[in-house]
Structure 1
Amino acid sequence: MTRPRGAVPLKEAAALAAQCVRPASAEWVALTESLHRILAQDLIAPFPLPGEARSRMDGYAVRAADTRRASQTQPRTVRCLEPTLSAGMVPSVIVEPGTACRILTGAVLPQGADAVVPDEDVQRVGETLYIHTELPPGRWVTSQGEWMQPGAVVIPSGHLLTPARLAAAAALGCNRVPVVVRCRVALVSTGNEIQEPGTPLESAMSYADTRYLLAALLLCAGAVPVHMGCVPDDAARMAALLHEPPGDVVITTGGTGGGDQDFIFDVWAELGIVPVFQRVAMKPGGGVALGHRKGVLYWALPGSPWAAQVIFHELLMPMLSRWYGMKEPWFPPMWAKLSRPISGKGRGVRAVPGRLVCRQETLWFDPQPQESSLSLAAFAKTNAYTLVPAQGSTLEAETLICARHLMGSALESDAQNLSCDAWRHVRK
């Protein structure tokens, strides 16, 4: 197959990749198995939370009118009723004018009471309660439905089920939730020089690091990687392996360079895989290609781990976002200052690897020197990258740039613990 000379712009390629999939169907899973899944339907509150007005303090349930003009020097007095109300009790006592009832945090407010006076603002002597502060109605009370009202959308569809959102689902009484079916992605390493990790490394060979990188990224993105192993540069064997793949998407690594041993596009032609695009105007990863056949998407990626990482974030993530019907970004862009200049020369968009580091309450992007950007040591330390436009001018040090945090990686800080004020600066 002859590859077209023209390269598709990066934004156009991302849009084409997203258009090639439709939002997937839903399945119901146990709440305990739903962490980091994508919600397929809105979770709607069937009842108010809390269901009744509740105390926010240990103290006494009172009528606010009975505390009018109360002070340290001129306390108001009321008669204390029994019993003490605690969380989980259904109160049978009625707070009439001139009375109060002992109540603990989380307990249901008894009939007649409309405020809670904390322990520190009262003095009790037998049945007599001396109130030293005036309270407005509703003081230290969580009103019925304050947390959520019936019919409210508590968690919208298309949102990631985080630990906090799982807690919200549990508060609704859900033990099963509807989530989007995971995307299954078959992964194949191609090349005579590639062998499986765990086997003795033979002379002139390399391990399939790019495939394992992609598998880890797919797991972070909620997909299911299916390892299909390594296949040599043999068109017939490649075609046999890719003919009936065990996935919704297939990713091959290697064989996209157009050399004498690069057969992947010949295999595409033999299998009838229809190309969507076969080159993208970006570096690294310009040789990436996307095609489809019988409802399955086929990605051909270069063998470089760094190129594969950029392609995953720029092209595969839009596809997966459409699959999952995502309504929030997987990873929002982060604005940082450049620690050293970056050259803007080039024919296409260039991804510059580096590290996001917080120093003295400012987020900085440390670009990797170009000569070391593909080294294994530098690659392992990278936690972000930035895109430099084609034919752009040099970006000077301290320029504010948009950095893309790599999925699954951690940010670095020169401080052990950042204050709230420091993080506010970091997020700017």
Structure 2
Amino acid sequence: MNFEYSEKSVELQKKLEQFIVDYITPVEKEVETFHLDPANAWKRWPGLEGLKQKAKDAGLWNLFLPKSYGDLSPGLTNMEYAPLAEIMGRILWSSEVFNCSAPDTGNMEVLAKYGTPVQQEQWLKPLMNGAIRSAFLMTEPDVASSDATNIETSIVADGDDYVINGTKWWSSGAMDPNCKIAIVMGKTNFDAPRHLQQSMILVPMDTPGLEIVRPLKVFGYNDSPEGHAEIILKNVRVPKQNLLVGEGQGFAIAQGRLGPGRIHHCMRLIGMAQRSLEVMSARTTERKPFGRTLDTYSSIRHDIANSACEITQTRLLVLSAADKMDRLGNKEAKDLIAMIKIVTPNMTLRVVDRAIQIMGGRGVSGDTPLAHFFAAARMLRLADGPDEVHMSQLGKNIIKKYAKG
């Protein structure tokens, strides 16, 4: 196992870091202020498209896609992309500048891997060009959606169409005014074997019967402009050619979609933790309670030392998962993928919490990114499956491996 990054990845890291210093950091506060203004809810910051064009021109575009897709992707491995995701994670909204934000990344991977040429022409190309955005509709309010086999949205064949009925929520990306397409997971056959009941289908957001009921906040943050929506699908009719792969393939597609996505989430979380470590370390030399700067207190040093250790441990674990996915595939890396999904959000929460404590009142304000980091990390203990689901399956796999008899 070799954790040395390729020359290609190292070069892109340098370019990405410099781009952020030159173009994103100077407007970070401006963008956050814009989106916190209620008058700007579900509006896009006016300077975003200009930054995206600069990223395209710099060759920092669609970095996430593991395999090349024409001239619009550099074709990086998970291992090569991982440090880039960490760099982008340091500023919550920066991923979109490089067309590397969820849920678009997962949706583009699905369309690249499973879409027909017609579906790719109509939806993948505009997504890869950054011309539109997308949403992923799986989670439902009335069932335990951590087990995707529980979903109740129906996708019923009717002539040349499918008719969709159900309610979804936590549909990330759906509030963005530029969101034009959703991938919807539902059931085409409630009587089939458990993991063959589900299908995925493409639903344009302007389809009659698709109604956004409300935006959902995460600890008070609306995450504008993409947001998270509750959506009702009432007799939504789309052509049969909008189905992905075929009936009964939805669960398999979902499993393939989540592997790389978890690497992306975890490396962005590490970026948040790393920036939090840097913020609190700098603060310790500036504050002087009781006549001594904070860096002279052993308890503060311990917090910073523990944070550095935990970040490094977690980073190596995530890189190990990325390496195994690249070499052996998602299935062989499933235990490591479960481990990083369990470990990384919890590690980030601990580090951010220490940073908030060291920062004091400023740490819970909007003057630093720490409060929003904390909300994002806490949410990611639930997204893509809660800790308990991953721990249960991981424990089952480990017991099976080592059990005797």
Under TM normalisation by the shorter chain, which class is it? Answer: under 0.3
* TM-score normalised by structure 2 residue count: 0.23
**Relative contact order, higher structure (CA 8 A, sep 6+):** 1
Query: Per residue, is there more strand in 1 or in 2?
Result: 1
* TM-score normalised by structure 1 residue count: 0.22
Give the greater-gyration-radius structure (CA).
Answer: 1
